[in-house]
Amino acid sequence: MIGKTYTTMLGGRELSIETGKLAKLVSGSVTVRYGDTILLVTAQARDEKSPLDFLPLTVEFEERHYAVGKIPGSFHRREGRPGERAILSARITDRQIRPLFPKGYRHETQVIITVISADQQNAPDVLGPIGASAALSISDIPWGGPTACVRVGQIDGQYVVNPTTEQLSRSRMDLVVAGTRDAVMMVECGAQTVSEDDLVGAIEFAHAEMQGVIDLIGRMRAELGQEKFNILAEGDLTPDLVPELTEKARAGGLRDALLTVKKKERSARTRAVRDAIIASYVPDPEADGAAARIATLKDAYAKVEKQELRRLILEEDLRADGRNSRTVRPIWIEARPLPRAHGSAIFTRGETQVLGVATLGTERDEILVDDLTEDTGDKFLLHYNFPPYSTGEVKRMGGQSRREIGHGHLAKRAIRAVLPSFEEFPYVIRLVGEVLESNGSSSMATVCAGTLALMDAGVPIKAPVAGVAMGLVMEGDKYRVLTDILGLEDALGDMDFKVCGSAEGVTALQMDIKVGGITPQIMREALAQAREGRLHILGKMAEVLSGPRPELSPTAPRIVSLKINPELIGKVIGPGGKQIRELEAMGAQITVEEDGTIRVFSASGEAAEAVRARIQGLTKEAKVGEEYDGTVVKTAPFGAFVNLYPGQDGMLHISQISEERLNAVEDALNVGDKLRVKIVGIDDRGKIDLIRPELEGKIAPREPRGPRPDRGDRPPRPPRRD
Helix (H, G, I), strand (E, B), or coil: what is residue 500?
strand
Give, in order, the Cα–Cα distances in Å from 78 to each of 63, 82, 268, 371: 11, 12, 51, 12
pLDDT at position 520 over 90: no
Give me Rg for the CA atoms of the chain: 35
| Contacting residues for 168 by C-beta, under 8 A, at least 6 apart | 151, 153, 174
pLDDT at position 29 over 60: yes
Helix (H, G, I), strand (E, B), or coil: what is residue 110?
strand
Identify the weakest region by mean pLDDT among 209-213, 214-218, 662-666: 662-666
Residue 722's pLDDT band, with cuts at 50, 70 and 90, is very low
DSSP codes joined into one string, 138-166: HSSS------EEEEEEEETTEEEES--HH
Enter the DSSP assignment of 186: E
Distance CA 173, CA 199 (A): 9
pLDDT at position 1 over 60: no
CA angle 221, 226, 231 (to 5 degrees): 115
Is residue 153 a contact partner of residue 140, using CB atoms and an 8 Å limit?
Answer: no
Is residue 111 a contact partner of residue 41, using CB atoms and an 8 Å limit?
Answer: yes
Short-list 625, 567, 613, CA closest to 592? 567
**What stretch of H or E contains 557?**
none
pLDDT at position 239:
67
- Phi, psi (rounded to 5 degrees) for 344: -155, 155
Look at 277 and 363; give whichever has higher pLDDT: 277
Distance CA 39, CA 590 (A): 43
Distance CA 212, CA 181 (A): 10
Enter the DSSP assignment of 699: B
Short-list 228, 249, 362, 375, CA closest to 311? 249
Q: For the segment 452-489, what is each residue's pLDDT rounded down to a tens digit?
A: 999 999 999 999 999 999 999 988 888 999 999 998 88
Give, in order, the Cα–Cα distances in Å from 128 to each of 37, 40, 79, 95: 11, 9, 19, 12
Distance CA 466, CA 454 (A): 13
CB-CB neighbours of 149 under 10 Å: 28
Residues flagged as binding site: 490, 496
Contacts 24+ apart (CB under 8 A), 78-87: 83/369, 83/370, 83/371, 84/405, 84/409, 85/125, 85/369, 85/371, 85/373, 86/61, 86/62, 86/371, 87/61, 87/402, 87/405, 87/406
pLDDT at position 235:
46
User: Which whole number is the average pLDDT over 302-314?
Assistant: 91
pLDDT at position 680 over 50: yes
Distance CA 634, CA 680 (A): 20
Evaluate the omega torsion of the peptide bond into residue 163 and state whether it is cis, within 30 degrees of 0: no
Is residue 154 a contact partner of residue 202, using CB atoms and an 8 Å limit?
Answer: yes
Distance CA 148, CA 184 (A): 10
Residue 406's pLDDT band, with cuts at 50, 70 and 90, is very high
User: Which whole number is the average pLDDT over 599-607?
Assistant: 84
Distance CA 491, CA 493 (A): 6
Helix (H, G, I), strand (E, B), or coil: what is residue 343?
strand
Short-list 343, 324, 342, CA closest to 334? 343
Q: For the segment 542-581, what is each residue's pLDDT rounded down to a tens digit?
A: 999 999 999 999 888 888 888 888 888 888 898 888 889 9
Residues flagged as binding site for Mg(2+): 490, 496
Name residue 597's beta-bridge partners: 563
pLDDT at position 654 over 80: yes
Buried b (16+ CB within 10 A) or exposed e, 386-419: beeebbeeeeeeeeeeeebbbbbbbbbbbbbbbb
pLDDT at position 707 over 90: no
How high does pLDDT run on average in the chain?
89
Is residue 206 a contact partner of residue 180, using CB atoms and an 8 Å limit?
Answer: no
Residue 269's pLDDT band, with cuts at 50, 70 and 90, is very high
pLDDT at position 561:
85
Q: What whole-number percentage of the chain has pLDDT above 70?
A: 95
Residue 433's pLDDT band, with cuts at 50, 70 and 90, is very high
Distance CA 170, CA 209 (A): 21
| Contacting residues for 376 by C-beta, under 8 A, at least 6 apart | 368, 369
Is this prediction's pTM over 0.75? yes
pLDDT at position 177 over 80: yes
- Phi, psi (rounded to 5 degrees) for 338: -105, 110
pLDDT at position 416 over 90: yes
Short-list 71, 143, 153, 158, CA closest to 107? 143
Q: In what order do the strands lie in the sheet with 495-501?
A: 158-161, 148-155, 173-179, 184-194, 506-513, 495-501, 466-475, 478-483
